[in-house]
Amino acid sequence: MAADFDYDAFTAGFAEYMTQSSTTLNASLDTDFTPSLSAFDAVVMSFNFGGEMGVPVEPTTAATPDPMLGGLGGVNWTLISYGSLDAPIVPLPETPVTVTFGDQGVSGTAGCNTFSASFQYDNFDVGTLTIGTLVSTLMACAEPIMAQETAIMMALQAATYFEITEGQLRITYPEGVLIFGA
């Protein structure tokens, strides 16, 4: 406020000021304002604070689903290695391990058995990845294949993060990283 502001004069003339302002605003057209009053009204009417006074408004646009699932979807990923980055383990050559991420969840082959699970990801939050409880077939294979399958299934179950770089999917888990190629 200005140093010479006269508060008493302001309060004495306030009622008249409000009357003049209301008259001027009421005489104005919708298009005299930016944004237009109808656009502003639509914004105000979209607010809903709940309770009996709230008026729910249907959204005009729906959230767009991510058809590529953060880069995870649309690719059949094949395991290249697993374990620690210092001593990666190459999967047995006769038992390809694959994963595919889709709208219905993650599925694949673990060397001997097939599996599926739900999953959640957030590629905006440092690539967080959580794989739900794995469900798999119960076939028995040779011991080296079963040992590899157990290690891979446990790694998938413990997944915490994912990253896709240079055509590779890296799924981090507490003991290491699963590295898949497209």
Assessment of whether the complete model's pTM goes beyond 0.85: no
The CA-atom distances, in angstroms, between 11 and each of 5, 17, 141 are 11, 10, 90
Q: How big is the chain by its Cα radius of gyration, in Å?
A: 31
| Burial class for 115, CB neighbours closer than 10 Å (0-12, 13-18, 19+) | buried
Residue 162: how many other CB atoms lie within 10 Å: 25
Distance CA 161, CA 170 (A): 8
Q: For the chain, how far is it from start to end, CA to CA, in angstroms?
A: 66
Q: Which of 17-21, 122-126, 140-144 shows the lowest per-residue confidence on average (mean pLDDT)?
A: 122-126
Q: Which of 101-105, 121-125, 162-166, 171-175 shows the lowest per-residue confidence on average (mean pLDDT)?
A: 121-125
- Give the residue with greater pLDDT, 40 vs 177: 177
Domains along the chain with CATH numbers? 1-60 (no CATH), 69-181 (2.40.128.270)
